[in-house]
Chains A and B, each alone.
Chain A
Amino acid sequence: MPRQGQSVESCILTEWKVQPGDTVAEGDVLAVIETDKASFDLESTASGTVLELFWEADDDVPVLANVIAIGAEGENIDDLRPATESASATALPATSSTPESSAVQSTVAADQSPASAPVDLSTTSHVPSSGVSPRARKKAMNLGVDAETLVGTGPGGRVIERDVDAFLAGTPRLSAAARVRAKEQGLEAPVRGSGIAGMALASDMRQPGAIEGAEVEPVKGIRKLIAERMMQSLNGTAQLTLHSSFDVTNCQKYRKKRLADGESKVSINDLIAQAILAALQNHPEMNAHFLGDRLAVFHEVNLGIAVDSPRGLMVPVVQEASKMSLEMLSSEIKKKAIACREGTIQPDDLSGGTFTLTNLGMLGVENFTPVLNVPEIAILGVGGISLKPKKNEEGEVSFVDQISLSLTIDHQAIDGAPAARFIQTLVNHLENHPGENPQKIEGEE
């Protein structure tokens, strides 16, 4: 393939004029080749019999690559074959292949970039606005396609014939009314419409990106935020979840006693929140942010509470929860949850958490692995009440109500054993001291 100018890296071999077995003389036209600027005849530089064509019509041939072998019958031509010969050469008469197969083959050829090619074509293809080959332009004009708008797969992103073919093959037939919708409302046709022989009708037109059998909506707002935060969490941390459970008997007793004493009603969740605060007093290393090169351990606990709101998952924060009485904590959690559900929560109340509590127990979930609310290093998940056997000191087995706890930690910041000790403290508090102020718990270590 002769070089057609300093900037030309490859040429499209648009048409073979000879076939294997033909006899040619020096100066005979072998093929028609084109660059993005012009079309040329490829003339033979030798006389003899055509032994093999190394490329198919419409192939993108790097300059200086061998295109044809001419010699005497039976001559060994193995050394002449370009490196990608297996992908695109043919000893058969060169016929115009289908758009699909030529596109595939040419892509392979480009990606494998023959050794003799001066540049790696795979890095230069798919770059838009590098012109349209004359052949592609002619075909596009004949078929009423605007070639300038097509994605080119030729060298430097040039639009070549196969791009026009591929465009037409993938274009659904639109009814007149469907075309109006496409133009005026920017709607897209499915590959096969519901009209005659699969014609796309006006009613088939849908928003770009639509999926058959599904309502498709853009991901935006809080959903987008949640998606980003979740991926950030799972991609950026080393999450490990520890499972445990506690006997709810004393919590229930405590709640009944409060009611009997005329005190305000508190939920199990409130008691768990309070127990977290108590446990964190003994294990302050769990109340922290992991910031990559720094670890910030906080003095006060700003407790995040996961809330299922109509807009999606929200995590309001009870600021300085560690300073609060049970009653105050309970009322703050309730207030924040209501604000989330009603959409009146303030942005400041949605940030600054140091530890998060998430509870799916009321939805019948027994156990789950919570996802860290980064940069926090721990989150406690609470499951539902279930009956579990328990052995007392005399060895008698009875069934008690238990609630499962799942603590996810960032193993980058904290190890499994200290996290397990945190759970022990937590369970001890819930089973033996429910409702008691954190200050009263003795350190365990």
Chain B
Amino acid sequence: MKYDFAVIGAGPAGYVAAKKAASAGLKVVMVEKKKLGGVCLNEGCVPSKTLLQAAKTYHHAKHGSIFGVEAGSLSFDFGKAHAHKNSVMDRMRDGIAGLMKKHKVEVIEGEATLSKGSSFTVNGETHEADNILLCTGSSPTIPPIPGIEADHIVDSTGILNIDTLPKNLVIVGGGVIGCEFACVYASVGVPVTVLEAMPEICPNLDSEIAAILRKELEKKGVTFQLGAKVESFEGKSVRFTLDGESKNMDADLVLVATGRRPNVSGLGLEEIGLDFDPRGGVKVDNRGATNLPGLWAAGDVTGQAWLAHAASRMAEVVVHNINGQKDQMRHDTMPAVVYTSPEVAVVGLTKEEAIDRGFKVKTGKIPMAINARYIAENPGEEGMCKVVLDADTNRLIGVHMVGGACSEMIFGATAMLETELREEEIAEIVFPHPTTSEIMKDVFMAVR
């Protein structure tokens, strides 16, 4: 068949691009080898957030006494939480299928192989398309540690299929994924140990924000071993070195969360001469164009951002460019969230990144605890809001928050960054009272 636009991969880049292109009148086909929705819906954002909400609900019930809520005999049925998770996923997948049908996007189940000249093969049939979007996502990386193939050692995809609580959980890797699962299990009473090789968790975050997150997770019962290097797994034992000393601990369940890698193999990409970046992702420009004419890429397969919303935006940019509308990615204004309790939400540059880029920097930070709504709703929880400004223009270039449900207000900061608002303009914006969002106004009082 001949199509105007082919999408390889049905994740948050793929289905957004397919829908958008079809709405613009293109004849679109979308190929998916597993399930609609990609990593986000099936192995990432959606299932993990459902379990996090389950854990949060349990945690609130258990710690409600400060509000006068005493919840007698409390129990947690992990199986039920998983059932809810599965029903949410089913519903979302049906939603995507319906959306594709509504927009007359043809969906083919199967593995695509690309060949030269804008054609690809699925299930033995060859198709052609004027433009092809490659958005095959990413998979968890598995480091070459001896003994890692044991059954009780899982990655972030595997752990989502285990609906019983382990006696204890050891997490290798204190990044975003590691922290989110640590939060789930610790909140429902499972002892959790995180082994992180770096001196602080979530090394991409502002270090003060990361430290607050770590302390809050410690309060929930997570033990962090920073600077720990895992050497081997022997039976149920995890061997690691810490400060030059060899240590041992038993683990009922081990989660390996050491990062993700782009899904680039088995697609015939080397054969058609596609360029890759040094980290193994498909190399794209700020429009999503690869080095091959008519071939575009978006999302995790490019090795950029590793975020569902970034993937969707990249896909949107690609479709705009295919339709002759000028558009480009602006990764510097891409928000990112860690969905732990408390949440971390950031957008823009950290102070260190800004200085590296040659900005003259001003910063301001205030504890969330100065905000009435915050202390009312999050008693005893530490939080912080930090802003980074370009001292030359007074423009806001970075916002870093930890505390409560701050993910819900980071879009406001994103809008400020996208429109390059300055301290002066932000000062005129009215924030509703009493909301936690007022922190975004008050933080400017602390800017030096």
Q: Which residues of B contact A176 (CB under 8 A)?
A: 395, 419-422, 424-425
Q: Which residues of B contact A195 (CB under 8 A)?
A: 330, 418-420
Across the interface, do B422 and A196 meet the contact criterion of CB distance under 8 Å? no
Least CB distance from A185 to B in Å reads 10
Q: Which residues of B contact A199 (CB under 8 A)?
A: 418-419
Across the interface, do B328 and A178 meet the contact criterion of CB distance under 8 Å? no
Interface flags, A196-230, vs B, CB<8A=1, else 0: 10110110000000000000000000000000000
Q: Which residues of B contact A175 (CB under 8 A)?
A: 395, 419-421
Distance of A202 Cα from B330 Cα, bound (Å): 13
Q: Which residues of B contact A202 (CB under 8 A)?
A: 390, 393, 395, 420
Distance of A195 Cα from B425 Cα, bound (Å): 18
Distance of A221 Cα from B394 Cα, bound (Å): 37
Distance of A204 Cα from B375 Cα, bound (Å): 42
B433 within 8 A of A: no
Q: Which residues of B contact A181 (CB under 8 A)?
A: 393
Least CB distance from B121 to A in Å reads 38
Distance of A195 Cα from B422 Cα, bound (Å): 15
Q: Which residues of A contact B328 (CB under 8 A)?
A: 194
For A200, give the chain B residue with the smallest CB separation.
B420
Q: Which residues of A contact B395 (CB under 8 A)?
A: 175-177, 180, 202
Distance of A195 Cα from B414 Cα, bound (Å): 12
A192 within 8 A of B: yes
Q: Which residues of A contact B425 (CB under 8 A)?
A: 176
For A195, give the chain B residue with the smallest CB separation.
B418
Q: Which residues of A contact B424 (CB under 8 A)?
A: 176
Across the interface, do A198 and B422 meet the contact criterion of CB distance under 8 Å? no
Least CB distance from B312 to A in Å reads 16
B393 partner, pick from A177, A194, A196, beta carbons under 8 A: A177
Interface flags, B404-448, vs A, CB<8A=1, else 0: 000000000000001111101100000000000000000000000
For B415, give the chain A residue with the smallest CB separation.
A196
For B326, give the chain A residue with the smallest CB separation.
A192
| Segment 392-442 of A: residues with Cβ below 8 Å from B | none
Interface flags, A150-193, vs B, CB<8A=1, else 0: 00000000000000000000000001111011000000000010
Q: Which residues of B contact A201 (CB under 8 A)?
A: 420
Least CB distance from A388 to B in Å reads 45
For B393, give the chain A residue with the smallest CB separation.
A177
Distance of A5 Cα from B393 Cα, bound (Å): 51
Distance of A180 Cα from B425 Cα, bound (Å): 12
Across the interface, do B390 and A177 meet the contact criterion of CB distance under 8 Å? yes
Across the interface, do B418 and A177 meet the contact criterion of CB distance under 8 Å? no
Least CB distance from A269 to B in Å reads 47
Distance of A175 Cα from B422 Cα, bound (Å): 9
| Segment 136-162 of B: residues with Cβ below 8 Å from A | none
Q: Which residues of A contact B326 (CB under 8 A)?
A: 192, 198
Distance of A364 Cα from B390 Cα, bound (Å): 52
Distance of A180 Cα from B394 Cα, bound (Å): 9
Q: Which residues of B contact A178 (CB under 8 A)?
A: 420
Give the one of B418, B420, B421, B424 with max A CB within 10 A: B420
Least CB distance from A318 to B in Å reads 50
Distance of A201 Cα from B424 Cα, bound (Å): 17
Distance of A175 Cα from B426 Cα, bound (Å): 13
Least CB distance from B423 to A in Å reads 10
For A192, give the chain B residue with the smallest CB separation.
B326
Known: A202-B393, A202-B395. A177 touches B422 (CB 8 A): yes
Q: Which residues of A contact B330 (CB under 8 A)?
A: 194-196
Give the one of A175, A177, A181, A199 with max B CB within 10 A: A177
Least CB distance from A256 to B in Å reads 54
Distance of A202 Cα from B395 Cα, bound (Å): 9
Distance of A192 Cα from B424 Cα, bound (Å): 25
Least CB distance from A53 to B in Å reads 39
For B418, give the chain A residue with the smallest CB separation.
A196
For A180, give the chain B residue with the smallest CB separation.
B393
For A174, give the chain B residue with the smallest CB separation.
B420
Distance of A201 Cα from B422 Cα, bound (Å): 12
| Segment 378-393 of B: residues with Cβ below 8 Å from A | 390, 393
Q: Which residues of B contact A196 (CB under 8 A)?
A: 330, 418-419
Least CB distance from A339 to B in Å reads 40
Least CB distance from B324 to A in Å reads 13
For A194, give the chain B residue with the smallest CB separation.
B328
Q: List 9 A-B contacts (CB under 8 A).
A: A175-B395, A175-B421, A176-B420, A177-B395, A177-B421, A194-B330, A195-B420, A196-B418, A202-B395
Q: Which residues of B are at the interface with A, using a C-beta cutoff of 8 A?
A: 326, 328, 330, 390, 393-395, 418-422, 424-425
Q: Which residues of A are at the interface with B, using a C-beta cutoff of 8 A?
A: 175-178, 180-181, 192, 194-196, 198-199, 201-202
The 6 A-B residue pairs whose C-beta atoms are closest, nearest first, are A175-B420, A177-B395, A177-B420, A177-B393, A196-B418, A180-B393
Known: A175-B421, A180-B393, A199-B418. 9 other contacts (CB 8 A): A175-B395, A176-B419, A176-B420, A176-B421, A177-B393, A181-B393, A194-B328, A195-B418, A199-B419
